[in-house]
């Protein structure tokens, strides 16, 4: 380069922040819609909705008057994307769908998507069954809920059976009974299966149970008392005593209920508490003037969102697959409640009201939920601090570059090669991430041969081949920072071989073996190319690893037992064309076993109820000519 040669021009630094956002204003109008803010790597930082896109984006284009969270987001913004909608409610729905799909780090994200159980009184049988139901409401009947947990449903079902004597057995069991079962003996069922009660009287019990679940327990109790008095006057003392026992059980149910608001028949009470950038949302379910339990949630707050934004995001995401009640009581007012009300009303098919009560019984319900949110968050933060210390200690003990954010623990389970299953559990700063657990049905010969090394190879090959296919650039949080393998040097060699073949050389893995005499507390740890080592017996990190390993073992054993139990019900009848569950039941009920069916003559098969001559010939040919 000579003295006259000008120096080469350096590329201009990428434009970000207010200036980039300002450029988009010329292309926007006042339509409602959704906007996305992206960083220099085109990763979505934030998804937002607006009644007026131009007005909302112009707020971001002006420096100043932004919270620290919004200022950081603006500074990282390198580009934006826009979608217009017809209404603000449509924008709210699209916004929440995109948040669930993209999981932007500056948005509030509800991280628990579990369904809630209901009580179902099925109407598909002349003698309705009462049972717990979770999932899609496809079966004909009356649904009552949601309940906060399976435990709350089970307790209520137990109480209802004592009071109303409704059956909980399956239709198949009902049709096969020849004498009353134990539920009748302990006075928890009226035994309609064997004619101890007729259809009309059983229908009256069903009606009473539905009234109770609708909150009309006082009327039910009065009706029972009148029946008892009438039975006593008619000198039907056994019937009167039975009614007396049911009234006592009903009284016990009413007295055991927790918060029973007299002035609130149906509502969800939602309160949020914030502390140091972390949030807890507590929701109580009030149905039929009864508290049906509560659940706490810890949404990701988008690096500092405030209460109104958290509640708006929670309501839109929580009721995405759940029917909203008629009334939702909140601890804090929403900034813009109208689109949320319209969205929830559309989902419910009726009017939904959102309120922030200031006095009276409703305010007491909200205060109770807020207190629970405050106490739950304090416990969660304490547990998180302990968990973070353990993760830091784990990084130090195993010489990791940083405390792991995602630990995957693997274990296999089988009995002499049968029903082999691999299990993976996941843990991190928030404890066990049960929604991330996975099980692997072993497909290779390693399972049937009881080859633990081969099974581990199959599990890890399937796990990481899928990761490499779905997220080769490692942009998601699905990639582990540490693998813990239940086993010693042999397992670690197998894992090393697989990881080398797949080209994954930056995920550390440790083998955990029981050590001398398989004594808990004397665990030995194995790493590739290093001698085995141990941790002090009183080390908190050692206890932490033991909990992780035990949880993986529990998960794998559970998956194995479920697979084994399913296999127990398999018979040769399952392989016969045209033999479904109903015909299979009929054959087994008639002959007693699949082996007896296989030996039956054609006329005997034709004598079975529900088995036609053609079907009988098919069954006979399957066993006698190879099908």
Asked if residue 81 lies in contact with residue 21, where contact means CB atoms within 8 angstroms, the answer is no
Is 407 a residue whose pLDDT tops 90? Answer: yes
User: If 0-12 CB within 10 Å is exposed, 13-18 middle and 19+ buried, where does residue 237 land?
Assistant: exposed
Query: How many other CB atoms are found less than 10 A from the CB of residue 612?
Result: 12
Max mean pLDDT among 146-155, 233-242, 348-357, 568-577 falls in: 348-357
Is 256 a residue whose pLDDT tops 60? Answer: no
Instruction: Write out the E strands in 23-124.
Output: 33-38, 44-50, 79-84, 118-122
Is 626 a residue whose pLDDT tops 70? Answer: no
Q: What's the maximum distance between 2 C-alpha atoms anywhere in the chain?
A: 123
Helix, strand, or coil (residue 422): strand
Mean pLDDT, residues 552-573 taken together: 77
DSSP structure class, residue 27: G
Asked which of 103-117, 301-315, 442-456, 498-512 is least confident by mean pLDDT, the reply is 442-456
- pLDDT value at residue 627: 44
Of 94, 85, 93, 29, which is closest to residue 57 (Cα–Cα)? Answer: 29
Phi-psi region of 145 (alpha: psi -120 to 50; beta: other; left: phi over 0): left
pLDDT band at 1 (very low <50, low <70, confident <90, very high): very low
Which token pair is 5? 């040669």
Q: For a pLDDT cut of 70, what percent of the chain falls above it?
A: 90
Give CA–CA dist 383/431, Å, rounded: 9
Asked which of 359-363, 519-523, 579-583, 597-601 is least confident by mean pLDDT, the reply is 519-523
pLDDT tens digits along 45-92 = 999 999 999 999 999 988 877 888 888 999 999 999 999 999 999 999
DSSP structure class, residue 143: E
Average pLDDT score, the chain = 85
Is 0.75 topped by the overall pTM? Answer: no
- pLDDT value at residue 521: 60
Is 128 a residue whose pLDDT tops 70? Answer: yes
Exposure string for 389-419, b = 16+ CB within 10 A, e = fewer: ebbebbbebbebeebbebbbbbbbbbeeeeb
Give CA–CA dist 213/287, Å, rounded: 8
Asked if residue 334 lies in contact with residue 358, where contact means CB atoms within 8 angstroms, the answer is no
pLDDT tens digits along 206-218 = 988 888 788 776 6
Is 425 a residue whose pLDDT tops 90? Answer: yes
Give CA–CA dist 405/426, Å, rounded: 10
Give CA–CA dist 279/112, Å, rounded: 14
Question: What does the chain come to in residues?
Answer: 627
Name 424's bridge partners: 410, 438
- pLDDT value at residue 98: 92
- pLDDT value at residue 10: 47
Give CA–CA dist 351/443, Å, rounded: 52
Mean pLDDT, residues 224-239 taken together: 78
Of 349, 285, 283, which is closest to residue 310 (Cα–Cα)? Answer: 283
Return the C-alpha torsion angle 87, 89, 94, 95, nearest 10.
110
pLDDT tens digits along 171-196 = 888 888 888 889 898 888 999 999 99
- pLDDT value at residue 284: 92
Domains of the chain: 22-102 (3.40.1440.10), 118-256 (no CATH), 266-379 (3.30.420.340), 407-566 (3.30.420.340), 572-624 (1.10.150.20)
Give CA–CA dist 308/279, Å, rounded: 12
Is 114 a residue whose pLDDT tops 80? Answer: no
* Distance (Å) of CA 440 to CA 143, 406, 424, 563: 35, 19, 8, 11
Mean pLDDT, residues 472-490 taken together: 88
């Amino acid at each position: 380069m000579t003295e006259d040669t000008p120096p080469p021009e350096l590329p201009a630094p990428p434009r970000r922040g207010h200036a980039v956002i300002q450029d988009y204003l010329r292309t926007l109008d006042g339509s409602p819609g959704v906007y996305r803010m992206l960083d220099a790597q085109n990763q979505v930082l934030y998804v937002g909705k607006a009644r007026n896109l131009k007005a909302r984006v112009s707020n971001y284009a002006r420096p100043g008057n932004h919270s620290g969270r919004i200022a950081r987001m603006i500074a990282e913004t390198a580009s934006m994307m826009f979608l217009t909608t017809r209404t603000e409610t449509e924008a709210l729905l699209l916004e929440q769908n995109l948040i669930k799909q993209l999981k932007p780090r500056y948005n509030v994200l509800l991280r628990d998507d579990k369904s809630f159980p209901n009580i179902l009184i099925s109407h598909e049988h002349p003698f309705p069954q009462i049972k717990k139901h979770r999932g899609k409401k496809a079966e004909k009947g009356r649904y009552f809920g949601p309940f906060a947990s399976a435990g709350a449903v089970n307790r209520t079902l137990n109480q209802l059976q004592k009071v109303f004597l409704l059956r909980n057995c399956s239709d198949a069991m009902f049709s096969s009974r020849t004498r009353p079962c134990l539920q009748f003996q302990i006075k928890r069922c009226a035994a309609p299966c064997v004619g101890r009660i007729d259809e009309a009287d059983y229908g009256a019990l069903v009606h009473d149970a539905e009234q109770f679940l609708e909150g009309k327990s006082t009327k039910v109790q009065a009706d029972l008392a009148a029946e008892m008095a009438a039975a006593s006057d008619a000198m039907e003392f056994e019937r009167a005593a039975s009614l007396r026992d049911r009234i006592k059980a009903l009284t016990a149910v009413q007295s055991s209920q927790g918060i029973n608001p007299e002035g609130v028949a149906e509502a969800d009470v939602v309160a949020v508490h914030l502390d140091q950038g972390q949030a807890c949302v507590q929701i109580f379910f009030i149905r039929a003037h009864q508290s049906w339990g509560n659940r706490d949630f810890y949404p990701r707050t988008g690096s500092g969102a405030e209460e109104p934004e958290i509640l708006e995001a929670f309501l839109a995401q929580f009721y995405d697959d759940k029917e909203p009640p008629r009334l939702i009581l909140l601890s804090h007012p929403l900034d813009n409640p109208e689109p949320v009300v319209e969205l929830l009303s559309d989902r419910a098919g009726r009017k939904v009201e959102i309120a922030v009560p200031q006095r009276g019984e409703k305010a007491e319900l909200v205060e109770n939920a807020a207190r629970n949110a405050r106490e739950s968050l304090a416990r969660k933060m304490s547990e998180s601090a302990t968990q973070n210390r353990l993760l830091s200690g784990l990084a130090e003990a195993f010489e990791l570059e940083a405390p792991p954010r995602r630990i995957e623990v693997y274990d296999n389970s089988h009995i002499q090669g049968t029903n082999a299953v691999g299990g993976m559990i996941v843990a991190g700063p928030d404890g066990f991430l049960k929604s991330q657990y996975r099980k692997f049905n072993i497909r290779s010969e390693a399972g049937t041969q009881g080859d633990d090394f081969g099974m581990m190879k199959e599990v890890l090959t399937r796990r990481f081949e899928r990761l490499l296919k779905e997220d080769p650039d490692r942009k998601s949080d699905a990639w582990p920072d540490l693998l813990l393998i239940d086993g010693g040097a042999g397992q670690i060699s197998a894992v090393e071989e697989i990881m080398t073949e797949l080209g994954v050389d930056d995920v550390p893995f440790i083998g955990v073996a029981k050590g001398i005499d398989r004594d808990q507390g004397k665990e030995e740890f194995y790493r590739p190319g290093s001698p085995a080592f141990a941790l002090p017996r009183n080390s908190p990190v050692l206890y932490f690893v033991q909990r992780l390993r035990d949880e993986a073992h529990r998960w794998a054993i559970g998956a194995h037992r479920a697979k084994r139990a399913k296999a127990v019900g398999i018979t040769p009848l399952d392989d016969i064309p045209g033999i479904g569950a109903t015909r299979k039941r009929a054959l087994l009920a008639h002959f007693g076993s699949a082996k007896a069916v296989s030996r039956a003559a054609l006329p005997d098969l034709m004598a079975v109820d529900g088995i036609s001559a053609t079907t009988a010939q098919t069954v006979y040919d399957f066993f006698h000519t190879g099908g």
